[in-house]
Amino acid sequence: MPEPIDQVVRLQVKKVSEIDVRTLIASSGEDEEESDVFTLRPLQGYAITGDHNIVQLDMMARYRVREPAEWAFYGPSSDKILSTEVKAAMVRSLGEMGVDRVLADGRKSLIATATRRAQVGLDAARSGLELMSLELTSLTPPRALTTDLDAVQSAFIGAETKKKDAQAFAESAIPQARAAADQAVQEAHAAADTDLAQARGDSVAFLALDQQYRANPEVVRERLYRDAVDRAIGAAGNVRWVPPPAGGSYKGFRITIGGRSRSGSLGAEDER
């Protein structure tokens, strides 16, 4: 090219390149070692989730050159800046999510958040790159912790199952308890009304009897006595009249009413 053009840099802006980001996964062979004690080595990659659990992941980043001038003259090396920004974005995004969600239904949200943050970092570094997609080719806890994590997951599922069973039992037991309580309250109200009505009737009858007694005590006393004797003798099957001895009183006299015996003495004035 003629002056003042010094150099022509040609690149394919529509070409999509890809790079493996393996800085958050164990180095080759490290996770294959058998040991009873799990330790994290300085060179062993990992990330911490929001609930302080360890995960290791392998990523595939696909990108293209969006700003040729920035990529060619200003930005740092594509592989270096892309790996750095993707790792930083993923570590930050993992730190905001719990491990259960990360390993279950939260991967799509995790990838979207990390991709957005990585792009912001690439733009700030004037890399000229556009992150087209980010793929998690591997996302697991460390192999040494797989058994423990499975036990935690099983315990979590068991707890959820018991919780649902308890809720179902509560939904069944609470209405029954409320119905029984309502019935008991209604029965108590009915019994209270019956007892109150009977007490009022008895009090009215007693007051009427008291008024009659005050007016004519002898007559009322005689009537009460006769009523009491009638009730006592009325329950007997057979009644036999035994005349008293002349001028004397009963001694060793025995009366049987309703199968029960009572002994005593009855004076001549009590013949009636």
d(CA 22, CA 9): 31
Distances (CA, A) of 136 to 48, 104, 111, 140, 146: 16, 13, 8, 10, 19
Q: How confident is the model at residue 72 (pLDDT cuts 50, 70, 90)?
A: confident
Pick from 75, 78, 74: which is nearest to 63 by CA?
78
Structure tokens at 236: 């007997």
pLDDT in tens, 2-52: 777 677 777 777 888 899 988 888 765 544 444 445 555 544 678 889 888
Structure tokens at 113: 């958040």
pLDDT in tens, 78-116: 788 899 999 999 999 999 998 888 887 888 999 999 999
Q: Is 59 helix (H, G, I), strand (E, B) or coil?
A: strand
Report, as an integer, the average pLDDT of 167-178. Answer: 92
Phi/psi at 59 (nearest 5 deg)?
Answer: -125, 150
Q: Which residues contact 11 (CB under 8 A, 6 or more apart)?
A: 65, 68, 71, 72
Angle 133-138-140 from CA coordinates, rounded to 5°: 135
d(CA 25, CA 31): 9
Let me know how long the chain is: 272
> Are 38 and 142 in contact, with CB atoms under 8 Å apart?
yes
Residue 188 scores a pLDDT above 80: yes
pLDDT score recorded for residue 249: 65
pLDDT in tens, 198-210: 999 999 999 999 9
CATH 3.40.720.10 for domain 17-141, yes or no, is no
Structure tokens at 189: 């109200």
Q: Which of 53-62, 68-77, 150-159 has the lowest mean pLDDT?
A: 68-77
Q: How many CB atoms lie within 10 A of CB 154?
A: 10
Q: Distance between alpha carbon 163 and the CA centroid of its chain, in Å?
A: 6
Domain chopping of the chain, boundaries: 17-141
pLDDT in tens, 241-259: 667 666 666 666 665 555 4
Report, as an integer, the average pLDDT of 176-195. Answer: 94
DSSP 27: P
Entry pTM: 0.52
